A and B are shown apart, each in its own frame.
Chain A
Amino acid sequence: MLRLRRVVAGYGGSAVLQGVDLTCEPGSITCVVGPNGAGKSTVLRVVSGLLRVTEGEVTMGEETISSFPPDEILRRGVTQVPQSHALFPSMTVRENVLMGGFLIRRDKSLLASRMAAVEALVPLVAERSNDRAGNLSGGQRRMVEIARCLMLAPKVMLLDEPSLGLDPRSLAAVAELINRLHDDGVTVLLVEQNVRLGLGLATHGVVMEGGKVRLTGSAREVMDHPEIASLYLGGTRATTAGTTADPAARAHPPA
């Protein structure tokens, strides 16, 4: 289980996260939504160790990981796909994915078996193997970024705005891949501006505002919450069936 307890963190002395409590159950997909500046991406940077906490802690199971450097957190199976493109544009697709196994580079048989597994899960990796990553479309790059993370067989995958800049077809492919990861038992923590898409994919929802968690609950509860509807969804409930909102507020503020 991944847990953030009273986490305070920020940049240049100003705290972006102001006491965040958040829990991701094993095998769940937790989607963090909220307006710009709410601190959603900062949550992911704190979990991956790219940003140090100034107060509070991040734990995985019984272990406190917030004091570890990023590579140690990576070794524990926490990988991140950031919001901006993270590939090495002049390297081939194969080299990019191979770099995802940098930490297991000395175990050649493990590296080869992971590569084969990743190619089976994301066929694009084999299909465009020798193409430079910088020449892929936005959707293809996103798939390769996720594929690269899979080289470490992650326990927790952090996805920052996976839908950003993607056309509907690419979006569907990325969503399908996330669902397959979920089926394989990977815990996914994703941040999404596209509330309908994010909560539609997720099992759990978290609403952040001003560096704090405002609401948590199942994805359905958060999606049905009237405040969410008015804040992000133009006043109506976000349902895939297109029904109107049930005003009952089942989502609850954090403990």
Chain B
Amino acid sequence: MTELLQALILGLLIGGVYALMASGLSLIFGVMNIINVAQGAFLILVAMFTWWLWKSTGVDPILASVVTTPLMFGFGWVLYRTVISRIRGSSTSMSVLLTFGLALTIEGALNVTAGNKFRSATPSYFEESYHLGSISLPKPQVYGFVAAVLVLSALYVVLAHTWAGRAIRASAQNPSGAALVGVGATSTAALAFALGTSTAGVGGSVLSVLYPFFPASHYDWISRLLGIIVLGGMGSLPGALAGALVLGLAETLTATYWSLRWSTLVFYLVILVVLLFRPQGIFGTRLREDVVA
């Protein structure tokens, strides 16, 4: 029983971090129909920067997200205005090509500047845990989960209770309808892209502590994140959260009761099985079929 509880709690902690990382990808797809396959590379870029900051100044890697998040927001804004906006109105496959090019560029730049080797930030609490009876909660996972909850809550408040958030949701659901009420398509898209990119600021800092990484790790991460948002329902933020929690639990339960080696395979098997029964994903929207969005 203790083993099961331990696995469930670890699964939720990991799932929360996955949700944080997938939320940006989901937001960007939901608003702009852009599949940002560079999101994994953004995570690794931030992880590398966080590692360097921790190594050279000793600053806590997870707290470093206070710096990396606004930096990534600015980076996302500039990137949208200068590069991504050029493919506005193009097909989704064009966005995959462009952002894949971006990912390769970031990977190449990191290879040249940082070298092709594994790194991991190991702050003082790296191997410490909190204990609740016989349950142990690794501190890095707990801090990562807390950061994820804070960011996802902030994202929820922005999207649900601010005019900027309403404009983003309106553009995601009906771009021409949004234009009719005076929502600027370009500024809203730039804001959504910047918000989505900024989640990689926190996500990358957390990643630098929880997982070893090297420049080409972004392939693993983008595969995982795409799996999460497909499972949750493309473009749905609650879906990304649900998908991430389901997959986090599936991974840890497999690692606990079967084998760590099988946990990655089970991750994708769960996606396959769920999509067989719910092709629109867990939170894929179902409205009246005559609604033109």
Contacts and interface: CB of A to CB of B under 8 A. Distances in A.
Interface string A55-98: 00000000000000011001100011010111111110001001
Chain B CB within 10 Å — which of A86, A98, A132 has the most? Answer: A86
Chain A CB within 10 Å — which of B176, B181, B287, B288 has the most? Answer: B181
A86 to B, nearest CB: 4
A99 B182 CA distance: 9
A99 B181 contact: yes
Contacts of A180: none
Contact of B163 (A88, A89, A102): A102
Contacts of A74: 180-182
Contacts of A134: 285, 287-288, 291, 293
Interface stretch (B20-28, B76-84, B93-101, B165-173): B165-173
B83 to A, nearest CB: 24
A89 B293 contact: yes
Contacts of A103: 181-182
B183 interface: yes
B180 A86 contact: yes
Nearest to B293: A89
B167 A102 contact: yes
A80 B181 CA distance: 9
Interface residues of A, number: 30
A2 B206 CA distance: 58
A100 interface: yes
Given A70-B182, A103-B182, A82 B176 contact: yes
A95 B173 CA distance: 13
B287 A84 contact: no
Chain B CB within 10 Å — which of A80, A85, A138 has the most? Answer: A85
A208 to B, nearest CB: 23
A82 B184 CA distance: 18
Interface in B220-239: none
Contacts of A141: 291
Given A48-B180, A71-B184, A88 B287 contact: no
A160 B180 CA distance: 13
A5 interface: no
Interface in B168-193: 169-170, 173-174, 176-184
B182 A89 contact: no
Contact of B291 (A48, A89, A100, A102): A89
Chain A CB within 10 Å — which of B178, B182, B184 has the most? Answer: B182
A163 to B, nearest CB: 16
A91 B169 contact: yes
A230 interface: no
Contact of A102 (B173, B183, B285): B183
A132 B291 CA distance: 12
B1 interface: no
Contacts of B169: 88, 90-91
A85 B291 CA distance: 7
A245 interface: no
Interface in B249-267: none
Nearest to A165: B290
Contacts of B276: none
A86 B173 contact: no
B292 interface: yes
B182 A88 contact: no
A75 B182 CA distance: 8
Interface of B: 163, 166-167, 169-170, 173-174, 176-184, 285, 287-288, 290-293
28 contacts: A48-B180, A70-B179, A70-B182, A74-B180, A74-B181, A74-B182, A79-B180, A82-B177, A84-B292, A85-B292, A85-B293, A87-B177, A88-B170, A88-B173, A88-B177, A88-B178, A89-B173, A90-B169, A91-B170, A99-B166, A102-B163, A102-B166, A102-B182, A103-B182, A134-B287, A134-B291, A135-B288, A141-B291
What 3 pairs between A and B have smallest CB-CB spacing?
A134-B287, A86-B177, A71-B182
Given A88-B177, A90-B285, A99-B166, 17 more contacts: A48-B180, A70-B180, A70-B182, A71-B184, A79-B180, A82-B176, A82-B180, A85-B291, A85-B292, A85-B293, A99-B178, A99-B181, A99-B183, A102-B166, A102-B167, A134-B288, A134-B293
